[in-house]
């Protein structure tokens, strides 16, 4: 079964010369029980995509299905309250005048509400806070309550829009992992929006990368990270170096010895290298230009003979001197990625 399906969905805002195409021919699917991380820079259309699913924004073209129900075909929209989706936003909009229990029970429209609220608070580890009010909770606690409230009506799909953006780094990773564990334990499929590639890599069964209203790649985290379809995805998902190369055939032969790469005359191709893909060895052909301490590792910037700079991570117990000559190699087994420049 498919939990969610977008077929050629387009959503525009504004009119005529001031029109913004917030979703541009988007087609994606979400399997049952799948957590899809949706990433992309600010303004690329992530929130619009979630709001289209929730029924807050009607779409202009295409079809959105939830399970086997068509909820929007560009003409007829199923009302939001009938869609059985749960929403958690960054600005955890709890009702300030309702207690934690009443907030969670709010969306359950029958007499199971009190029991259900108690169960959900237990699930998110907030039972002890049942009688408190939102202003008596920390940011992380409020997000747990918001999650409990969204889960209480037993939605078919959860939509989370940068739910942890307001939390500080340490707390955020913990709450994030807790929330994903809860989604998995209740087998609730989810679309998890973030502009943070670490969050996306950590939580997504698959990752959808968006740019300017389009979905440019949907794949498992390791595929998006190690085999990006283009340079935009490569740089958005993490640190990388780009070395111009003359042609793909060059790379296959030479990639494991980067120092031997010659300067291409004119090229529209680049070799993408993650800093952990490059190892430095005794030898010549490259010069260590800069060293940056990152705690567990050092990150070295190395200038290759062909003029390109690459970064290489190395354990803090094996430092290399700035200014020394080295040989730079691709880590054995690493697959070289060639992108259009």
Q: How far is the CB of 88 from Mg ion (least distance, A)?
A: 13
Q: Among ligand ADP, Mg ion, none, what does residue 95 contact (CB within 5–8 Å per kind)? A: none
Q: Which of 30, 46, 121, 308 is the binder for ligand ADP (CB under 6 A)? A: 46
Q: Other C-beta atoms within 10 Å of 299: how many?
A: 16
- Using CA atoms, how far apart are residues 156 and 146, in angstroms rounded to an integer? 17
Which helix (H) or strand (E) covers residue 69, if one does? strand 69-72
Residue 20 or 322 with smaller CB distance to ligand ADP: 20
Among 3, 28, 39, 44, binds ligand ADP (CB under 6 A): 44
Euclidean distance between CA atoms 65 and 4, whole angstroms: 6
Q: Contacting Mg ion (CB under 5 A), which of 4, 23, 37, 47?
A: 47
Q: Does 125 engage in binding with ligand ADP (CB under 6 A)?
A: no
Closer CB to ligand ADP, residue 120 or residue 237?
Answer: 237
Nearer to ligand ADP, 48 or 103 (CB): 48
Question: How many residues belong to the site for Mg ion (CB under 5 A)?
Answer: 1
Say whether residue 155 binds ligand ADP (CB under 6 A).
Answer: no
CA distances from 90 to 105, 143, 144, 167, 179 (A): 20, 8, 12, 10, 14
> Which residues ranging from 47 to 106 are in contact with ligand ADP (CB under 6 A)?
47-48
Site for ligand ADP in 4-43 (CB under 6 A): 13-14, 20, 22, 40, 42-43
**How far apart, in whole angstroms, are the C-alpha atoms of residue 292 and residue 75?**
55
Whether 195 and 57 have beta carbons less than 8 Å apart is answered as no
Whole-angstrom distance, CA of residue 110 vs CA of residue 102: 13
Q: How far is the CB of 45 from ligand ADP (least distance, A)?
A: 4
Least distance from C-beta 297 to ligand ADP, angstroms? 32
Q: If 0-12 CB within 10 Å is exposed, 13-18 middle and 19+ buried, where does residue 111 land?
A: exposed
Least distance in Å: CB of 162 to Mg ion?
A: 6
Q: Directed axis angle between helix 139-151 and helix 169-185, to 10°?
A: 20
Pick one of ligand ADP, Mg ion, none as the site partner of residue 144 (Cβ within 5 to 8 A by kind): none
Q: Under 8 Å CB-to-CB from 312, ≥6 apart: which residues?
A: 275, 278, 279, 280, 299, 300, 302, 328
The structure tokens listed for 278 are 């490059």
The binder of 275, among ligand ADP, Mg ion, none, by C-beta within 5 to 8 A per type, is: none
CB of 46 to Mg ion, least distance (A): 5
State the DSSP H helix or E strand holding residue 315, giving kind and residue range, or none if neither. strand 309-315
List contacts with Mg ion (CB under 5 A).
47
List contacts with ligand ADP (CB under 6 A).
13-14, 20, 22, 40, 42-48
């Amino acid at each position: 079964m498919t939990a969610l399906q977008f077929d050629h969905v387009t959503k525009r805002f504004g009119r005529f010369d001031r029109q913004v195409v917030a979703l541009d021919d988007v087609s994606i699917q979400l399997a049952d029980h799948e957590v899809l991380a949706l990433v992309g820079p600010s303004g690329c259309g992530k929130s619009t995509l979630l709001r289209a699913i929730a029924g807050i924004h009607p779409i202009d073209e295409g079809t959105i299905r939830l399970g086997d129900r068509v909820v929007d075909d560009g003409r007829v929209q199923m009302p939001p309250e009938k869609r059985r989706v749960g929403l958690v936003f960054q600005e955890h909009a709890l009702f300030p005048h309702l207690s934690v229990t009443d907030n969670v029970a709010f969306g359950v429209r029958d007499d199971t509400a009190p029991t259900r609220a108690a169960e959900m608070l237990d699930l998110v580890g907030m039972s002890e806070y049942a009688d408190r009010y939102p202003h008596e909770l920390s940011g992380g606690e409020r997000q747990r309550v918001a999650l409990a409230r969204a889960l209480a009506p037993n939605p078919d799909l959860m939509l989370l829009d940068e739910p942890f953006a307001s939390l500080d780094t340490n707390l955020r990773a913990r709450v994030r992992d807790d929330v994903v564990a809860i989604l998995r334990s209740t087998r609730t499929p989810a679309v998890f929006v973030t502009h943070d590639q670490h969050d996306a890599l950590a939580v997504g069964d698959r990752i959808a990368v968006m740019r300017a209203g389009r979905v440019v790649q949907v794949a498992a985290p390791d595929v998006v990270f190690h085999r990006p379809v283009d340079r935009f995805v490569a740089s958005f998902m993490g640190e990388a170096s780009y070395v111009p190369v003359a042609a793909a055939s060059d790379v296959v032969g030479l990639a494991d010895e980067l120092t031997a790469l010659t300067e291409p005359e004119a090229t529209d191709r680049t070799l993408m290298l993650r800093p952990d893909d490059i190892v430095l060895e005794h030898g010549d052909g490259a010069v260590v230009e800069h060293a940056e301490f990152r705690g567990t590792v050092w990150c070295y910037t190395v200038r290759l003979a062909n003029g390109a700079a690459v970064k290489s991570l190395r354990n803090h117990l094996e430092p290399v001197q700035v200014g020394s000559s080295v040989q730079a190699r691709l880590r054995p087994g690493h697959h070289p990625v060639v992108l259009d420049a």
